[in-house]
């Protein structure tokens, strides 16, 4: 299941805060802030999709993510590789390293990460 752009934006805030009441979520948004009803609607949809849950404290709800940011991002990247790069991670890596504005230092850092991963396997 996937989140809409606005749901994803709210989820980013929730991942950052780890748990939050409605007021906390509204406070983290820049001006102009969305309406409380908008955030409530997004949360309701995200609960229905299984991304968010809440604990009740009196009349207030404390929301928290059920899906880890890393898991969500990993699923997206794997879908991207499958859809646009013929399910080939090497095609993706080739595109990523050639078509982005990575510095030599960033490429060297990526090389070290890959070398370490190869060594660990």
Amino acid 22: pLDDT: 96
Identify the structural domains of the chain with CATH numbers, from first to last.
5-65 (1.10.10.10), 69-120 (no CATH)
Question: E-assigned strands of 1-121?
Answer: 20-21, 52-57, 60-65
Q: What is the dihedral of CA 17, 6, 69, 96, to 10 degrees?
A: -130
Amino acid 118: pLDDT: 92
Q: 58-107 pLDDT, tens per residue?
A: 999 999 999 999 999 998 888 889 998 999 988 988 888 888 888 999 99
Contact of 63 with 26, CB cutoff 8 Å? no
Judged by DSSP in three states, 36 sits in helix
Q: Give the pTM.
A: 0.76
What's the CA gap between 76 and 120, in Å, rounded?
25
């Amino acid at each position: 299941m996937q989140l809409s752009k606005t749901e994803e934006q709210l989820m980013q805030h929730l991942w950052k805060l780890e748990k939050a009441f409605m007021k906390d979520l509204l406070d983290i948004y820049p001006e102009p802030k969305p309406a409380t009803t908008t955030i409530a609607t997004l949360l309701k949809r995200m609960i229905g999709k299984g991304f968010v849950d809440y604990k009740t404290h009196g009349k207030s709800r404390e929301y928290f993510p059920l899906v880890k940011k890393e898991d969500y991002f990993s699923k997206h990247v794997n879908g991207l590789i499958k859809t646009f790069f013929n399910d080939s991670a090497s095609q993706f890596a080739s595109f990523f390293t050639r078509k982005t504005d990575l510095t030599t230092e960033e490429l060297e850092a990526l090389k070290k990460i890959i070398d370490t991963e190869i060594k660990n396997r």
